[in-house]
Amino acid sequence: MSLPGIRFSDVRCVRATSTHIDIDNGVVESAGTSFSDTALVRVLGPRGWGMISVNNLDPSSKKEMDRILAEGLALAGITEDPVNLAEPGRGEHKVPSPKEDPLSLSLEEKTRVLSGIEKAAKIPGIVSTRATYIERSEGVFYTDSSGYENRFTITRSGFSVLAVARRNGDAQMGRESRHTIHGFNLRHQEPMGVKAGETALALLDAGAAKGGRMRAVLDPELAGVFAHEAVGHASEGDLVKEGSSVLAGRIGEQIGPGILTIVDDPSLPEFGFEPVDAEGCRTARTEVVSRGRVNAYLHTRETLAALGNGDSGHGRAEGGEPPLVRMSNTFIEEGDSTLEEIFSECRDGILLVGSRGGQVDPGRGVFQFNAEYGYLIEEGERARMVRDVSLSGEILSTLHGILLCGKEREMHQGFCGKGGQSVPVSDGSPHILLSDAVVGGSGAD
């Protein structure tokens, strides 16, 4: 798999079967399965990368591969950046066996069970409900010019349920979702539908939060997003290498309190699990922040060679797309505070619950994310509910403002976008207390 002038090449083929079901107000809007077969061939020329993205590649066809490698080499000819690759760590984790394999169930059965969750959301006062199921089974084959090969199959699936309540022109929503690599997870999940409905109804009576700087308690879901947005992205080796991360040049520096350890671990059997990364590298736990100090960056082989400080094994890619440095399962380690201690220490502030997602500018070191809702905290007690609360801040000052970490961590699943690619991730944390959070809200008092 080589031609003169090629220092390294690899091929990653992803054959995927995707199933979705969409039930909207009791109507099965769509349900079906689609197929894709995509591949990316990377060629490292004398300087940088030439890449070819194609459908339906047969990597065993020498004629086809020679033609694509030549094409890749020609593209690499316009590059100027000298790219080097670190030696790969090899080894693969076993993909956990599903408890109930979604592929063994009929589309009818999946639709029937999803429908039960959607119906459960329609409690009195709810005007609109919707439930969706997504499932993606990927067969991955990887090989490179060293002769290394791996192949595996993984199926990810899950659901989300949405409920909308309306009163006097005001509309509010509640949403719940669960995704997993461990098999069909929709059975007995009707309470999630009910919870979405109850949240939407409760939000009709919630006031808008008054924005400003205050003490904030983040629940495990939102604190997980905080770890992902505020620290995870800034630790990605490609951003550090480009000079667009506030964590560049800070290895060993204390950026948070001693109770703070932040980890990314693609080998953990959570939603962001990868048995091996998109460059055929072994995946393992990386402590990005260790007891408050910047400990390591996340890497592909290219960024590890350029920067050091960390492990490769964090390259992830959609089919036909290049491996980028990505997070997988990112979390804040458990601390030593009880929830009572956290509320008591907060005294007057806000509790932020759930996540509608977030975004970060890692170069500027500014992040933003939205909670699903919140509660005021008054004299150490949870008080009235508030809606549309968000949190923004500067990464470095906010990390120093972490006062307490709870004892119990929970993980939540989602998808993370970067460079036009979306990958499954999970984030988690115990409850945390921030001393000086910038909370957004349009309320007057």
Partner 1 sequence: MAVELIERILAAGGRSAQEVEVYLVEGTGVSAELKREAVATATGSREWGLSIRIIDRGRIGTSATSSPAKWEECLAAALSSMSLTTPQEWRGLPDPADLRRSAPSYDERVVPEPSAAQGFLGGMLEGARKHPESKITSGSGSLARSEVTIANSHGVHYTALRTEVSCSLETICGQSTGSEFAHSPFLEIDPLWVGERAAFFAEHSSKGQPMETGPFDILLSPVALAQLLGNILVPALSGRTVHAGRSRLAPLLGQKCMDGRIDLCDDPFARGMGATAWDAEGVPASRLDFVKAGVLSSFAYDLKTAYRYGAKPTGSAVRGGFSGGPAIGVHNLVLDGPREEIGSERALYVHDVVGAHTANPVSGDFSVECQNPIWVEGGGFQDPVRKAMLSGNLFDALRGIGGIGAGARIVGNSILPCVRFKGMQVIG
Q: Using CB under 8 A, which residues numbered 189 to 208 contact partner 1?
A: 208
Choose between 8 and 49: whose C-beta lies nearer to partner 1: 49
Instruction: Write out the binding residues for partner 1, residues 6-25 only, by CB under 8 A.
Output: 18, 21, 24-25
Q: Is the CB of residue 315 less than 8 Å from the CB of residue 142? A: no
- Residue 253 CB: number of other CB atoms within 10 A? 11
Taking the CB of residue 204, how many other CB atoms lie within 10 A of it?
15
27 binds partner 1 (CB under 8 A): yes
Q: In the set 5, 91, 207, 322, which binds partner 1 (CB under 8 A)?
A: 322
Summary count for the chain: helices (H), strands (E): 8, 26
CB of 91 to partner 1, least distance (A): 28
According to CB under 8 A, which residues from 229 to 248 bind partner 1? 239, 241-244, 246
Among 207, 211, 257, 380, binds partner 1 (CB under 8 A): 211
Residues of span 343-372 touching partner 1 by CB under 8 A: 356-361, 363-370
CB 142 within 8 A of CB 57: no
The site string for partner 1 over 121-160 (x = CB under 8 A, - otherwise) reads ------xx-x------------------------------
- Encoded tokens for 114: 């999803």
Rule CB under 8 A: which of 52-81 touch partner 1?
Answer: 52-56, 71-72, 74-76, 78-81
How many C-beta neighbours within 10 Å does residue 252 have?
A: 9
Helix, strand, coil shares of the chain, percent, nearest 5, are: 20, 45, 35
CB of 96 to partner 1, least distance (A): 27
CB of 5 to partner 1, least distance (A): 14
CA distance linking residue 77 with residue 430, whole number of Å: 49
- Kind plus residue range of the DSSP H or E element containing 242: helix 237-242
Contact criterion met (CB below 8 Å) for 28 and 46: no
- What are the CA-CA distances from residue 177 to residues 72, 106, 196, 413 (Å)? 41, 21, 9, 8
How many binding residues for partner 1 (CB under 8 A)? 86
Choose which of 9, 10, 13, 49 interacts with partner 1 (CB under 8 A).
Answer: 49
Q: Are strands 207-208 and 126-144 parallel, antiparallel or unpaired?
A: unpaired
Q: 259 or 425: whose CB is closer to partner 1?
A: 425
Sites for partner 1 among residues 103-122 (CB under 8 A)? 107-108, 111
287 binds partner 1 (CB under 8 A): no
**Which CB sits closer to partner 1, 79 or 290?**
79
